Structure 1
């Protein structure tokens, strides 16, 4: 098991916590929490726990592209169990859409 940590600039704060996906073979889950009270809301702190070692660069590239398009601030926890980059992109987009939907409902 490998743990990767990243930080990306971000400006949008989700209205509530988000959970998408599951931890299962070939899949992953994403948990997104708002920045803690008193913490700045200008970055996304991402922790990736993955069962696949050696893909640091790919994770960096995929996440950097996502946060360039969708700058959602907060604490992101990604639990990966061998998901392909396509599945990772799908789950990230789902989290972004869920955050947009909760913001629109508020």
Structure 2
């Protein structure tokens, strides 16, 4: 197991909490809690060792295509592909934006 913490600039503010996915399904679980800071803090626990570069690339890509919200994102990854990871992350952001 590897633990990774990333911090990226946030460009929007939301309110609330959201959950997407189930780690026990062999996929991943993403929990998001919005706050009023200027950053998005991402705490990742993954079963895939040496994957920091993959996660950094994913969040760099997300920054270029969307406005990341301020808050804390907790990810429990059980080897999900980057595509599934992006879907789960976007799901929690969308759910909170409608809260």
**Same fold at TM > 0.5:** yes
Gaps of 5+ in 1: none
Return the offset for 1:25: 4.5
Larger Rg: 1
RMSD: 1.4
8 Å Cα contact 1:25-1:83 kept in structure 2: no
Corresponding residue pairs, total: 98
Q: Which moved more, 1:72-81 or 1:23-32?
A: 23-32
Return the offset for 1:99: 1.8
- Structure-2 residue corresponding to 1:79: 76
Q: Which moved more, 1:11-20 or 1:47-56?
A: 11-20
Using structure 1 for the length normalisation, give the TM-score.
0.84
- Structure-2 residue corresponding to 1:65: 61
- Structure-1 residue corresponding to 2:14: 14
Q: CA separation in 2, counterparts of 1:100 and 1:57?
A: 28
Q: CA separation in 1, counterparts of 2:97 and 2:47?
A: 30
Q: Deviation per CA, 1:83-104, whole angstroms, max 9, x where unpaired?
A: 01110011011112112211xx
Using structure 2 for the length normalisation, give the TM-score.
0.89
| Moved beyond 4 Å, runs of 4+ | none
